[in-house]
Structure 1
């Protein structure tokens, strides 16, 4: 436990120390988050290189405390680096096309799946399917990695939201890995938590720095890596017993905010014959913003919703995966209907 506290503290301190340097650098070169302003809910003139801080703090803590020759660790760090650099290119230069991002995200997912063996090997009875072939497991895992990386990017629209959800997600997985006795993935989860927490120190209230695509995609990649590894480890625990019987539903509960928002906006865009990656203001945080909530209140609403969904899922573990996932999505749909109805009354 002391080692986990150490990795959190190292990442946190590195993040806090580096942010003022990055802010000064952005002021010097006028690297501000003024691109795509019509989709964003913050003001002009803030640094958009917070992802540099999150990535570097996470990477340094991992390099100091973990064995990078381990295939699992090495694949995670290489994969994280790949999405970071395409995000950084977009944050600095702009103009990176969605297709280019998807190609790089696919490469990152392929590295993760084939070099690190981060694979979902079972559908747990969903759609009547249980065990997956090697090929189907790889295809499904790559698709889910790309989706969640983009889902975290989608929710990065107001100060503190992607970071706060990232903290909830990584603390949750870190505690689960502790119970499973997997210190490597627990280190990764708490290392990412520390890096995000240091970033939020400057982002959440003052809004002087934003994580950009580099930060949101790195958080998304580490989060989904933890999710996939947890499913695998929980199913093949050396003790012969799983710590959670409905692990897919619990993973969904942990990732509920980015996953539900991602599914929702993609379906809306497709129904309007638009690209799934075309920017708009249809995200849940945009709808709550339209209702008059402040950024801080929106973050608290969605963070509390995430935690409540997780507690509810743990409380309903007497249900099977299909039933529990159905319950979680029904609650999300009701929540979305309420937001849409309230928004319609104000229009």
Structure 2
């Protein structure tokens, strides 16, 4: 690889742009050509997702698409962004653990506490071992620098919440995959604008995009023979990687000598990160609040997720995913436009708009019911 970089340097070609282009291309191709084999084996060995009470599909569908996503990300990142594994030495080990746990859960369904233990382990690896953590809140609630151990605990909890939150939005075709593409693109562009030191993270972001786009080709297929889900393997991997890129994004703005002063003077960095991942955050908080309000366990499965509400409006999976992604892209746009506002006011605005989006389907449903009653 170094000889290849030397050759590009001598010919005057930018190594970075070649890495981004090839990383995207090969991650797409690896996933695209791996999935048909995974579908074939899944059908032959009956490794399928069985329709359940909360399912939004009717027939058996292979659910090991996450293997192809890991396969392409693992290969392409190791080749085109190998610096990442030098900077964050526990990253690859964490991905391997999540791959194993995800496959086990997709095939035999693991107990929740076992998955939680694995999530705690990988989060601790990356937070303590690689020092990827939230060091400051930039003045949110008046908090700047965070004590080391509080920072470690808070960061581990953040990883676990985002991993599971992303898993929860993977309920209809195209939503988790489409949203991860959007988030990775925004983080990738942001890293690019913040300088050459962050270029390996740019390559990682575009490797993720390439892999997930290839997956979406099959996930959104109208033919059951070529359809596949990412399963817990894919949702946990993507949730973990988005949490990783999110915390790295916040960390970029910190002056390591003075964590109370943002390096690039963008005090709204944590709020922007929240806005980018607003869908899984709000969806998870909303269903937990609803369950507690109804005196149910916060871990009890139901159909109160945003995508379930849209499906009740007789929308297709594609349309539901499209409407959700467009609305939460609107929130990201508002946040960027107001990025220099007071951080606490901006956080309130982001969360308020997020919860408004969660209840728009309920409002539409109520209006339709009132209209039917008035007609009758």
* TM-score scaled by length of structure 1: 0.93
State yes or no: 1:168 paired with 2:182: yes
3-state SS in 1 of match to 2:253: helix
The match for 2:234 among 190, 204, 215 is 215
Q: In terms of mean alpha carbon deviation, does 56-65 or 268-277 score higher?
A: 268-277
Residues 276 and 189 of structure 1: CA distance in aligned 2, closer, same or farther (over 3 Å): farther
Shift of 1:31: 1.2
Partner of 1:189: 205
Shift of 1:318: 2.9
Partner of 2:6: none
The match for 1:272 among 275, 287, 294 is 294
Which whole-Å CA distance do the structure 1 matches of 2:179 and 2:145 have between them? 31
For residues 108-139 of structure 1, the C-alpha deviation after alignment (integer angstroms, 9 at most, x for no partner) is 10011011111000122222221101001000
Partner of 1:233: 252
Shift of 1:215: 0.4
The correspondence of residues 306-325 of structure 1 with structure 2, limited to 5 A, is 306-325=328-347
Which whole-Å CA distance do the structure 2 matches of 1:70 and 1:203 have between them? 30
Partner of 2:304: 282
The match for 1:15 among 26, 31, 44 is 31
Shift of 1:321: 1.6
The correspondence of residues 1-347 of structure 1 with structure 2, limited to 5 A, is 1-34=17-50, 37-67=52-82, 70-94=85-109, 96-181=110-195, 182-206=198-222, 208-236=227-255, 241-242=263-264, 244-344=266-366
Residues 259 and 213 of structure 1: CA distance in aligned 2, closer, same or farther (over 3 Å): same
For residues 130-150 of structure 1, the C-alpha deviation after alignment (integer angstroms, 9 at most, x for no partner) is 110100100000000000000
Query: Is the contact between residue 63 and residue 228 of structure 2 (CA under 8 Å) also seen in structure 1?
Result: yes
Which whole-Å CA distance do the structure 2 matches of 1:69 and 1:241 have between them? 21
Shift of 1:69: 8.2
3-state SS in 1 of match to 2:237: helix
For residues 147-183 of structure 1, the C-alpha deviation after alignment (integer angstroms, 9 at most, x for no partner) is 0000110000011110000100111111111112201
Shift of 1:254: 0.8
Which whole-Å CA distance do the structure 1 matches of 2:351 and 2:251 have between them? 23
Counting matched residue pairs gives: 344
Which whole-Å CA distance do the structure 2 matches of 1:278 and 1:194 have between them? 34
Partner of 2:10: none
Q: Which has the larger radius of gyration?
A: 2
Query: Is the contact between residue 76 and residue 225 of structure 1 (CA under 8 Å) also seen in structure 2?
Result: no
Which whole-Å CA distance do the structure 2 matches of 1:6 and 1:102 have between them? 35
Segments of structure 1 that go 5 or more residues without pairing to the other structure are none
For residues 37-75 of structure 1, the C-alpha deviation after alignment (integer angstroms, 9 at most, x for no partner) is 211212312111001011111111112223368443432
User: Which has the larger strand fraction?
Assistant: 2
